[in-house]
């Protein structure tokens, strides 16, 4: 089996990462993705984007995160995007991302990791069983009221 390596997203790879996102977020425009990535990669940001790659540096997945104060858990690692796509070893790519997520959360003193999945993926995400096996369990339900004119990503 190949060895997956996690790396922070390099600003020069933002468009490559967009291509990885499209199958999971078909409504996502390149401009919106670039804005999201730029905000997380900016100096002083309390977040980031982590990729999983093989030796050839081709991306097989990513997650974006933000460190947020949390009433129930003091400090949480909020993950709003989680994509793992490898035809031959999807669990390998996902496991590498989940391990890096744990490492970042512990390094920053987080008491919890919250992964938000779009409604369209809540029951069908290919790694849902893996999330649960590694201790990621449902905790409430997030509600959203859209204030901007842009539609939400499904």
Q: What percent of the chain has pLDDT over 90?
A: 51
**What's the pLDDT score for residue 104?**
98
* Domain-embedded: residue 64: yes
The answer to whether 91 and 127 are in contact (CB under 8 A) is yes
In a domain, 148, yes or no: no
| Lowest-pLDDT range of 18-22, 56-60, 132-136 | 132-136
Higher pLDDT, 13 or 73: 13
Residue with tokens 């809540």: 122
DSSP string, 47-109: EEEEEEE-TT--EEEEEEEEEEEETTTEEEEEEEEEEE--SS-HHHHHHHHHHHHHHHHHHTT
Which residues span the domain enclosing 15? 5-133
Q: What is the pLDDT of residues 108-126, one digit of tens each?
A: 999 999 988 776 666 666 6
On whether residue 154 sits in a domain, the answer given is no
More confident residue, 2 or 116: 116
Sheet holding 112-115, edge to edge: 5-8, 47-53, 59-70, 74-84, 112-115
93 Cβ contact partners less than 8 Å away, ≥ 6 residues apart: 4, 52, 60, 61, 84, 85, 86
- Examine residue 89 and state whether it is found in any structural domain, yes or no: yes
* Domains: count for the chain: 1
- Rounded-to-integer distance, Cα 29 and Cα 124, Å: 23
| pLDDT over 80 at 20, yes or no | yes
Q: What is the pLDDT of residue 1?
A: 61
Q: How confident is the model at residue 33 (pLDDT cuts 50, 70, 90)?
A: very high
CATH number where 33 lies: 3.40.630.30
> How high is the pLDDT of residue 89?
74
Give the count of beta carbons closer than 10 Å to the beta carbon of residue 99.
14
144 in a structural domain: no
């Amino acid at each position: 089996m190949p060895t997956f390596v996690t790396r922070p997203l390099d600003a020069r790879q933002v468009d490559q990462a967009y291509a990885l996102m499209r199958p999971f977020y078909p409504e996502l425009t390149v401009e919106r993705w670039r804005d999201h990535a730029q905000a997380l990669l900016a100096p002083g940001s309390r977040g980031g984007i982590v990729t999983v790659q093989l030796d050839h540096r081709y991306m097989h997945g990513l997650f974006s995160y933000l460190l947020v104060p949390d009433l129930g858990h003091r400090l949480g690692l909020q993950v709003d995007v989680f994509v793992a796509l490898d035809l031959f070893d999807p669990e390998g790519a996902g496991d590498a991302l989940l391990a890096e997520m744990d490492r970042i959360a512990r390094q920053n003193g987080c008491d919890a990791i919250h992964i938000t999945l779009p409604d369209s993926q809540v029951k069908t995400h290919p790694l849902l069983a893996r999330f649960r096996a590694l201790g990621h369990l449902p905790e409430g339900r997030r509600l959203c009221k859209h204030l901007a004119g842009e539609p939400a990503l499904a």
